[in-house]
């Protein structure tokens, strides 16, 4: 099935490490790179991780990505209040011949 599954919510306290998972299939994550986007309320989404685990210039090294088989994860260490946002994974899907986004994970910093 061509979907990317993320937990709807995640939370942590300042300084903690949190991870957000993204589960897919052989037609998407299993055969292409995974990208992660941060979406703050009222702003445009921002590229956070590209090609599974690479950070664009300007993205703090507190953010890291990984991929194994048909699943991927985004890890945020040293959690800060400004990290409170919605996070989306994305990947090309060969079956759909299109880009799939995960459903999004709302991160709350307690």
Partner 1 sequence: QVQLVQSGVEVRKPGASVKVSCKASGYNFITSGISWVRQAPGQGLEWMGWIGLYNGHTDYAQKFQERVTMTTDTSTSTIYMELRSLRSDDTAVYYCASVKAGALSWFDPWGQGTLVTVSS
Candidates 20, 102, 107, 109; binder of partner 1 (CB under 8 A) is 102
**Minimum CB distance to partner 1, residue 13 (Å):** 26
Helix (H, G, I), strand (E, B) or coil at 36: strand
User: Cβ closer to partner 1: 32 or 83?
Assistant: 32
Residues with Cβ within 8 Å of residue 69, at least 6 apart in sequence: 29, 30
**What is the SS3 assignment for 54?**
strand
Residue 50 binds partner 1, judged by CB under 8 A: yes
Contact letters for partner 1, residues 65-94 (x by CB under 8 A): ---------------------x-x-xxx--
Contact 101, 90 (CB under 8 A): yes
């Amino acid at each position: 099935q061509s979907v990317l599954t993320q937990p709807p919510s995640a939370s942590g306290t300042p300084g903690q490490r949190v991870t957000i998972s993204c589960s897919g299939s052989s037609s998407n994550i299993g055969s292409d790179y995974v990208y992660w986007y941060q979406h703050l309320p009222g702003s445009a989404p921002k590229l956070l991780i590209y090609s599974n685990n690479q950070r664009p210039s300007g993205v703090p090294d507190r953010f890291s990505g990984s991929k194994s088989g048909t699943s991927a994860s985004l890890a945020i260490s040293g959690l800060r209040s400004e990290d409170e946002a919605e996070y989306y994974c994305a990947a090309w899907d060969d079956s759909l011949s299109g880009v799939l986004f995960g459903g999004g994970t709302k991160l709350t910093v307690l």
